[in-house]
Chain A
């Protein structure tokens, strides 16, 4: 297990960020992650199978997410999915990224930059 250094992982790529975000409220399988990301971003971010599993594999190795259900074994029913959950490291990294984003946003607003959306609210 690598050392506990959340800052090593940020800034997160959009794909990583959204995968972590979708696991934040519970355990999901790969396709479930994809569906949630797609719904949340209104179809702007559509994860392909390769992109998703390459990212999950990376996150798994880095210890940001972990598998919860057992791997399937040969001969078992093929519709048993692998499920993933956020590890405490993953949660910390997600929060650290959030903090970074907020800081950046605050800096931008302080510099007088804002979009019309923020002005109207």
Chain B
């Protein structure tokens, strides 16, 4: 037996058995042992190491064996030398093995296909495209949507936000509410809170800006993930005033500290404060969205910021819970709802109308792409079905045109079984090659998709050829093979041999074949119509998106992000002095038209939303019911972004910290509260109105802007001078020279102001704009590509079938014209029949399209699934194809001299 030496496996026994079955017996007897040794040594070559190397090895060895075995069997050159030597007697009349019979049929099939190379290429190409595209897309769907998350018992993990059910909006969690849930909700085994932030690392290395995740100490237990070295956080490190600890990501540990184990226990300066390194996470760890890991992890509770104790503050916190043993998500929901009601009674100011929103973590992670991916998978399955329909058509037509040949075979005494086997071998052979081409294409396609979708689709790095994918590919291949290769063979062999020879294929195919073909055409039109309509919707939506009026101009605006740590800018006014200095330097640079400060940045990932009240209006019962998007800006911001001023005035530098608090609102805000009066001079405040409310006086009204991913809920907008609040700010610069020339001067300006201050995210507004629509773009391009492929395949198929059935009616046309029918009348009747089939397909197809579009609804911008443009243009396109497909052959048929058609054999 095959033993593996050095602990490295040789080829598996199953694989060897396959090899042995492939080769002719004499060849294996003579060379088997040698080949085994060869294969064992070969397995150890460096390029066959690892998981992918194993696949490559089996593919290469398998291909080699298959080709050599086929040649040995087909040339009969089993042990004979090349040249003139006579063949030795093979085995002295031994019974031919199954594989010898198969080889004989294969030899026949190959010869027969060589004569019809064009036919073979079309069949193999069509099948290969269909199987390849479907498998590639399924690989992505499987990796992204179906594979479990890389945590312990991931099915029990849920993500919890808060929501105001009356508004339907999703809110971040207030930290005190989280603490209450954690203490009282019994359906959870454990839970932890997390919040994304950023920290400046200084001291040991050049100042850099790092992405950080603030987490509860319980994260490690909840996820079931332990640090690679060191430990997780202790409970006392997660408390305000506790020792400051930090856990690094593997990537940061490696890139910045050379994976030095001695780093444990040392101190790092983050945002100006000293943190002790207590651990390093494993390389594979990434949370919450796999593939988008954070540089470092700090305890969420250790900061001294006020939101930790303010129930009304929602600073981007979300909570992950692990459901207890045997607890279903509904029970957890009821549990937190009951708790929510108690909290509402206890803290009416902050908790009125609020409930927890629980969703399974996996669904949440992929929520942005699941509808999209399923829709694309649907569409690619349509392409596969169209491809298979085409192949079936081709095989049917091919079988029909060979009826005489088959009839002769039958007449010469070949049994029906023998004929079916011959036809079957041929189609199975074609289908196997097609499947091989398909798997190759799938491999290449998956690689391309993965590279292309990196950064756009969560969990894309999880996409790989895995067992479910292989099973899927095998299933698809088998299904297509059985339905579309076996069926035509059986149908073709069913014909009556005598008729076939006598009639010489002169008449139409029997009504049976006709009916099958009609169904195939209807099916093809249905699928093509569905795909075309969906692709039209996607492309229409993409088109609308790229020219959506944002309310501001993204061209020629360069932005960069600066976050000043509280610890180095402790005094009120320190931060604004820095930002104003930076703005003034930027504004003075040559090529700069206008420079200003803003936070958060429109189209950036963050938004700032606040409840508010208006002076003189009754206070809303729950402040969450009235939300506004908030932007902290400097003077000139509206000019930099080219947002039009509608009433009043814009901010000036004198509106800063020491003067009366002023605000600018957008047109929607003004329309909501002061539809009939002048908004200038009215007062608004954040939070509930009251004696201690801090009022802003409205001084201007500007145009509304679209500053978020299209489709997300919008709120009214207000602006206030940024000097009143500290936080992450962006410098936005409108330029009249190419913006990349300003990147270095701006970097230098920041370092001049503060040598310890890193800057990050130097990007143009156009970059942000493009990012915002990337998933729509991917959808549009993929669907467009598939629709194009589908229409191409379908037109070929429709044309082939329709024109063939018309050609077969040449005799009928001749008879009718001999009987005095006019040419126009005959033409009309043929084309009408084609159209009738088409109409049926179009109706089915449109219905199907609506069903698929329902999956896509969230991704469609500005178009309804029932958009007439797509339906009409897709229908017109397919109708035209089928009319042309019946018109040209019909005209040719009608030109035939009637007697000629009758006499024609």
| Residues of A bordering B, CB below 8 Å | 2, 8-9, 30-31, 34, 46, 48-54, 57-62, 72, 78-79, 81-82
Contact = CB atoms under 8 A, between A and B. Distances in A.
B68 A79 contact: no
B274 interface: no
Nearest to A50: B68
Contacts of A46: 60
Given A50-B35, A54-B71, 18 more contacts: A8-B83, A8-B84, A31-B37, A48-B64, A49-B35, A49-B64, A51-B67, A53-B35, A54-B27, A54-B72, A57-B79, A58-B77, A58-B81, A61-B79, A61-B80, A61-B85, A78-B37, A79-B37
A2 B83 contact: yes
Contact of A31 (B23, B30, B38, B83): B38
Given A57-B31, A61-B85, A50 B37 contact: no
B412 interface: no
A34 B61 CA distance: 14
B580 interface: no
Contacts of A59: 81
B846 to A, nearest CB: 52
Given A48-B65, A49-B64, A49-B65, A57 B30 contact: yes
Given A54-B68, A57-B31, A82-B34, A49 B81 contact: no
B69 interface: yes
A51 B41 contact: no
Among A34, A50, A53, A78: residue with most chain B CB under 10 A: A50
Nearest to B60: A48
B68 A72 contact: no
A31 B37 CA distance: 8
A50 B33 contact: no
A31 B72 contact: no
A51 B34 contact: no
Contacts of B63: 48
B83 A62 contact: yes
Contacts of B85: 2, 61
A60 B31 CA distance: 12
A51 B64 contact: yes
A82 B82 CA distance: 22
B33 A78 contact: yes
Contacts of B79: 57, 61
A79 B68 CA distance: 25
B382 to A, nearest CB: 39
11 contacts: A8-B84, A31-B38, A34-B38, A48-B64, A49-B64, A50-B23, A58-B77, A61-B81, A62-B81, A78-B33, A81-B37
B69 A50 contact: yes
Nearest to A13: B82
Contacts of B82: 58, 62
B42 A49 contact: yes
Nearest to B23: A50
A33 B12 CA distance: 24
Contacts of A58: 77, 81-82
The 7 lowest CB-CB distance pairs between A and B, nearest first, are A48-B64, A61-B81, A50-B68, A62-B81, A53-B31, A49-B38, A49-B35
A49 B83 contact: no
B449 interface: no
B88 to A, nearest CB: 10
B236 to A, nearest CB: 60
A81 B82 CA distance: 25
B39 interface: yes
A61 B67 CA distance: 21
Interface in B74-106: 77, 79-85
Contacts of B80: 61
Contacts of A61: 79-81, 85
Nearest to B80: A61
Interface in B832-877: none
Interface in B109-151: none
Contacts of A50: 23, 35, 64-65, 67-69
Contacts of B30: 57
A77 to B, nearest CB: 11
B27 to A, nearest CB: 7
B713 to A, nearest CB: 58
A76 to B, nearest CB: 10
Interface string B779-804: 00000000000000000000000000
A30 B63 CA distance: 19
A65 B482 CA distance: 48
A59 to B, nearest CB: 8
A31 B35 CA distance: 9
A29 B82 CA distance: 22
Contacts of B72: 54
Contacts of B39: 49
B83 A52 contact: no
Contacts of B38: 30-31, 34, 49, 52-53
Q: Among the interface residues B34, B80, B84, B85, which one has the most CB atoms of the partner chain A within 10 A?
A: B34
A44 to B, nearest CB: 14
Nearest to A60: B81
B53 to A, nearest CB: 14
B73 to A, nearest CB: 11
A49 B67 CA distance: 11
Contacts of A54: 27, 68, 71-72
A81 B71 CA distance: 26
A1 to B, nearest CB: 11
B207 to A, nearest CB: 47
B476 to A, nearest CB: 29
Contacts of A82: 34
Interface string B6-34: 00000000000000000100010011011
Q: Which of A8, A31, A59, A82 has the most CB of B within 10 A?
A: A31
A99 to B, nearest CB: 20
Contacts of A79: 37
A62 B84 CA distance: 10
